[in-house]
Structure formats: structure tokens, C-alpha cells
Structure 1
Amino acid sequence: MINLAKRVFLQTLNDKRSLAMILFAPLLILTFIYLLLGNNDYVPTVGIDKGALPAPIVAQLDKQKLNVVELSTDEAANAKQYLKDHRDVDVVFGISQASGASMTLYEPSSKGTKAMNEIQQAIAASNPSAKVNIAFVFGQEGQSTFDSLGYVFLSLFSFFLVFIISGMSLVRERSGGTLERLLMTPVKRGEVILGYTLGYGVFAIIQAILIVLYTVFVLGLSSEGFIGWILLTMVLLAVTAVSFGAMISVFASSELQVVQLIPLTIVPQVFFSGLVPLDTIPYHLGNLCYVMPIYYGAAAIKGVMIYGNGFTHIWPYLLGLVGYSLILYALNTQALKKFRKL
């Protein structure tokens, strides 16, 4: 028993990937969670028409952790349109004799929640019994987490499952000698990568259709825009996942090592898929989203499902997925030189 334990210990000690997954991956993930979900110094912005608000409330708002932007009477009256045109404002707050106090937010989010809490504290300081009506440009109060974050799950499943299957399959073919025998033929490296991508791309299309139809028509996830754009985005995201899996498989000699690389390659992307607003992440780490393919897919799907956007709004994200796929294709083609030089 002691000898067996010693052998397992030494094998693990010599496996750098296992050591990284056991010792360092949890630290990396916990650091991301701390930065994303812990206290941040984000100060929400509220737009108000000072002339239409009682002076005591204006004074209390100035004392809160808020950036106060003064609006004209017309801008405050058309709060929803103002928020569409000024995405840097989190809440428009106003008081009228007809409807009382009201807050209008762009969409349900942690930024909006923080702004609402600060405003409610200001109101409570002058009138504790006051009631506030809440409205959203997109979404509604009290909607389920699945309704508000469904687009995140669509992008994650589309990417993660295809990545796992493609990455493990390519490692299996390499370890079984299939890839080496294929590279002994006149087939070019680029054709090998393209063949694998097209082969798994068929299943990616089927998967995208099944996931979208099931979530929309069976689970009741609503979409403000055309479902076809969601399907297109998920297909591009899945194709990118195939290329990403092929790239990761180059650095893995077994299926277990593909799994070991997940905490370093997939888990960080989850945090930049839309779970939290990127501009609330400290140290400008939100800009890391631009090097993560899941971000482009999630942003495009959110634009269609939540905002009702069409191709004219989501094409930059689709172009990002296409560009990512082309870059990975080129890298994978070069990586095959490890097994054959043409």
C-alpha cells in the first residue's frame, strides 16, 4: 500500500499539468471570482432633472456614492429613449405628481441594482414611507435568472461541449496513430484541420438547432429578435470551439490532459460571458474579454435575445468569431509541423 501511494505521488509530482490543476488552478479561479463578485469601486451614474425634484432629495443624492448627471425636462420625461442613447447612465430618477417617484433602468443588472440601492437610501433619508416605481427599457422586474442570463448558458453549452468532444477526439486519433498515418499521405496540413472542422461542424449545426429550439419553444426562453441570428451565432461559436479544441489538443498527450486544461482555458472565459458587467471589473480586467471567443458569441446572442438587435448590430461580434476561427486555423496548421514537415 505504501509503495502504491508512493508511486501515485511521484507520478503526480512529475505531471506538471496535474500539479497546476491541483495547486494553481483553484487559486486562479478564486481570484477571478473575487475580482468579479467581490466588492468593487464602481460608482453608478444617475440622471435627474434637479428642477423637478425636492431640494432635500437632491441634497441626499449628492451625499450618496453616485455620479449625478443633470437632465433637461424633456430628457427626464423620455427616460427610456435617453437610456438607449446614453449607455453610460445607469438610472434615470424622477418624481411627478401623477405617478410619484420612479426609476428607469436600461436592464436588470448588478450596476442597476447598486444604483437603485443608493437612490432608495437617499429617498428613505427624507421620506421613509415613499414608494418607488421601477421600469426597465429591456427586461422586467422580477424576471427569473434563467430569463435574464439564458443567453449566457446558450453560448457556454455551445462552446464547452463541442470543445470537449473535439479536443478529446483529436487526442485519441493522435494517440491511436490515426493522425500520423493520415499525415503520411499527400494530404496537406490545412486540409487535415479543415476536414476535422467541417466534420464536427455538422454536429455543431445540429446541436445549435436543438439547443435553440428547445430553450425557446420548450423552456419558454423569450427572444426579442430573429431566432435565425441566434442559430448563426451558435454555429460560428461551435466552429470556433472545434478549432479551439484542436489547438488545445496539440498541448495534450492524453484525454485526461485535455480535461486538466479546462480550468485554465474554459473557466476564465465563463466570467467574461456576461455573468457580470465588464465595466465593473477592477483594474480594467474587463478588456480581457476581447481575447476570449465566448464573449463574442454571448454578446451577439444577448443583443438578439434581450435587445432585439439584427445583423446590423451583431455583425462585429460575428466577425470576431470568424476572425478567431481563422487565426486558430492558421495556428493549428502550423502546429501540425510538430508531426510532419511539408
Structure 2
Amino acid sequence: MLSIIKRILGQMKNDKRSLGLLLFAPLLILTLLFFILGDSNYIPQIAVYDMNEKFVAELENHATVILETEKPEAADYLEANDVDALIWADSAGTHIELLEKNSKSVAALEAIQDTTQALQPTQNELIVDYVYETAGDNQLDSLSYVFLGVISFFFVFILSGMSFVRERFGQTLERMLMTPIRRVDVIGGYTLGYGLLAAVQSVVIILYAVYVLQLQVEGSVALCTFVMILMAFSAVSVGALVSIFANNELQLVQFIPVIIIPQIFFSGLIPIDTIPFGLGNLCYLTPIYYGCTALEMIMIQGKGVVEIWPWLAGSVVFIGVLFLANVTALKKYRRL
């Protein structure tokens, strides 16, 4: 087993293209997502009705202000005029109407909060309402666990699967199976070899996301890294299993719509309980569900090991089941 691990690490050291795919391609995609969905210098447009002139003057330092002489209906007005917020005051407090929770509404709220802080007003409650109630303040922060889990899983699956296919085409696997080596040792060597490389990728992705892109993590970064490593080993095992049934690299790629894309729907991108016909229960058959759910609980909710242990256990069980499935699938090449 150790010789297999050493050989794989040596091969990958000389395979610059595969190392680039493993380490730098995920960073490029995360960077693009950061610029597309992250914070920006966007100046919000805020409609004001029946607010004092001092407030309006200060608000103009933080946003584009639209003065309204009559109070409009927020739902129709905000959507039709591409306005980010509507603000007015009455005896109950200061009312802020927003279309939905996104980066534009966050910018509008920050402008209003900066204005109220600058004026140092008397106690006046801010009443915030959304026309379309959604979750998340910053789109990248609120869905970071999805992007981290899916991107890591996808690239590890591609790398490990194609590497296994190349091993068969080079007849390395066949020659190895002609020796007395056990199938368990073969799968264990490949899984640990590629798994160690995938673990390095997981550490790089987490550190880059947290300390370079500064994605918000409410819980432990180390625990996030551990979850990512478990997902990486799951991806290696899935790639190995699929590659056994693929006759060439093109066939492996053709498995992506069947193996990878459906799992994305169970990553937290869509609430499981909103998926119709009970299809949400299929999430328990996908390794991405366990990893991304654990990442969400750590990164968004700040949970620890005590709260996420069922999902950690699910990932470990999945790795074990896939390992046994791979060992069994090797009977296709040798019955020992």
C-alpha cells in the first residue's frame, strides 16, 4: 500500500497540469464568484417619503436619494423603478421597505444606518420589511458553504476519476492485479494517495476563502477544513467507483450530469423540504449533502462538533460504503 501511495505522489509531482487543476482551478472559480457575488462599491437608490430635510441631506452622502411627495406602494414601486429601498416615518418608528435580501438591500440598509448614526437621533425604532423574504445578506457569504463543497467535490472527482481511467489504459492496474496484492490494498492505496492530494486542496481552498477572500465563518475554520477533507475522500471514492465502469475519459465526463449535477440540488442551494414529491429524501444518498450541511452549520450558524456529528458520521459511513463498493467492483478485473 505504501508503495502505491509513493508512486501516485511521485507521478502527481511531475504532472503539472493535474496539480494545476487540483490547486489553482478552484481558486480561480472562487475568485470569479467573489467578484460576481461579493461586496462592491454599489451606491444604493433610496426613495424617501415624509422625512425631515436634515435626514435627507445626510442620506445623500451615502446613497442616491429619490424624494416622493406621496407614499407609493412598496411592492410595485421598488420593482418597477429599480429602487433599492423606500423609507418613511410615523409614530411607530422609521419604516424601511426592501424588495428582497441581497447585496443591494444590504447596501441600502448600511446607508440608512450610517445616516442615523451620523445624526445621533433619539430612540426611533427601525422597522425593516421585505417584499420578497429571502435568506442571506451577502450572496457569496450566505451560499459560501455550497460553493466550497461543490467546487472541491467536483474537481477532486474529475482528477481522481480520470487518473483511475489512465491507470487502466496504461495497464498499470491490470499488471498490479496479476500480482498477489489484495483488492483492499489496491483500493486503499489509491484512495489514500489521491485522498492526501485532495486533502491538500481542501486546506488551500479553505485558507484562501477565509483569509484572502475573507468569507465569513461563524464557527471553527479547522472544523470546516476537516469537513472539506472528508468530502475530498468521498469524491475520490466516487471518482474511483465511476471510473471502474467507464471505458475511457469521455465516458467518465458523461457521468457528470448523472453523478455530480443532481447532488448540487442537495447541497443547500435549494431547501430540501421545498423539493416536491418527497424527492428531497434522496439527499441521504449523496455525499455532498452531508458535507455541505455540516459546512453550513459551521460557517453560517457557528455550530461545533456536538451539533454536526451526525453529518460527520454520515460522511464517514459514506466513505466506508464507497470503499467496499470499489473493492467489490474490482472483481470485474480479478476474482481474488
- Is 1:252 the counterpart of 2:242 in the alignment? no
Q: Which amino acid aligns with 2:246?
A: A
Alignment partner, residue 49 of structure 1 = none
Alignment partner, residue 92 of structure 1 = none
Paired residue secondary structure (1:298): helix
Render the CA deviation track for 1:218-277: whole Å, top value 9, x for unaligned: 111000001011000000000010000011011101011000110011010011111111
Alignment partner, residue 273 of structure 2 = 279
Alignment partner, residue 133 of structure 1 = 128
Q: Which of the numbers 217, 232, 238 marks the counterpart of 2:232?
A: 238
Paired residue secondary structure (1:133): strand
Tell me if the contact between 2:93 and 2:127 (Cα under 8 Å) persists in the aligned partners.
no
Render the CA deviation track for 1:193-221: whole Å, top value 9, x for unaligned: 01001101111121111100111111110
Change (3 A) 1:178 1:312: same
Shift of 1:101: 7.5
Aligned pairs (5 A) from 1:95-174: 99=93, 132-134=127-129, 143-174=137-168
Shift of 1:144: 2.3
Alignment partner, residue 38 of structure 1 = none
- Is 1:295 the counterpart of 2:297 in the alignment? no
Gaps of 5+ in 2: 1-89, 103-125
So what's the TM-score if we normalise by structure 2? 0.61
Q: Percent identity?
A: 52
The CA distance in 1 between the partners of 2:129 and 2:298, in whole Å, is: 24
Q: Which amino acid aligns with 1:146?
A: L
Change (3 A) 1:209 1:134: farther
So what's the TM-score if we normalise by structure 1? 0.60
Alignment partner, residue 194 of structure 1 = 188
- Is 1:306 the counterpart of 2:268 in the alignment? no
The CA distance in 2 between the partners of 1:264 and 1:140, in whole Å, is: 29
Paired residue secondary structure (2:143): helix
- Is 1:340 the counterpart of 2:331 in the alignment? no
How many pairs are equivalent?
A: 219
Shift of 1:97: 6.9
The CA distance in 2 between the partners of 1:164 and 1:277, in whole Å, is: 27
Aligned pairs (5 A) from 1:60-99: 99=93
The CA distance in 2 between the partners of 1:250 and 1:256, in whole Å, is: 13
Change (3 A) 1:221 1:181: same
Alignment partner, residue 266 of structure 1 = 260
Alignment partner, residue 69 of structure 1 = none
Runs of 4+, deviation exceeding 2 Å: 96-103
Render the CA deviation track for 1:309-340: whole Å, top value 9, x for unaligned: 00001111111111011001101101111111
Shift of 1:175: 1.5
Tell me if the contact between 2:230 and 2:316 (Cα under 8 Å) persists in the aligned partners.
yes
Alignment partner, residue 316 of structure 1 = 310
Alignment partner, residue 172 of structure 2 = 178
Shift of 1:102: 9.7
Render the CA deviation track for 1:50-97: whole Å, top value 9, x for unaligned: xxxxxxxxxxxxxxxxxxxxxxxxxxxxxxxxxxxxxxxxxxxxxx97
Tell me if the contact between 2:220 and 2:304 (Cα under 8 Å) persists in the aligned partners.
yes
Gaps of 5+ in 1: 1-95, 110-130
The CA distance in 2 between the partners of 1:324 and 1:236, in whole Å, is: 10
The CA distance in 2 between the partners of 1:298 and 1:97, in whole Å, is: 45
The CA distance in 2 between the partners of 1:224 and 1:168, in whole Å, is: 36
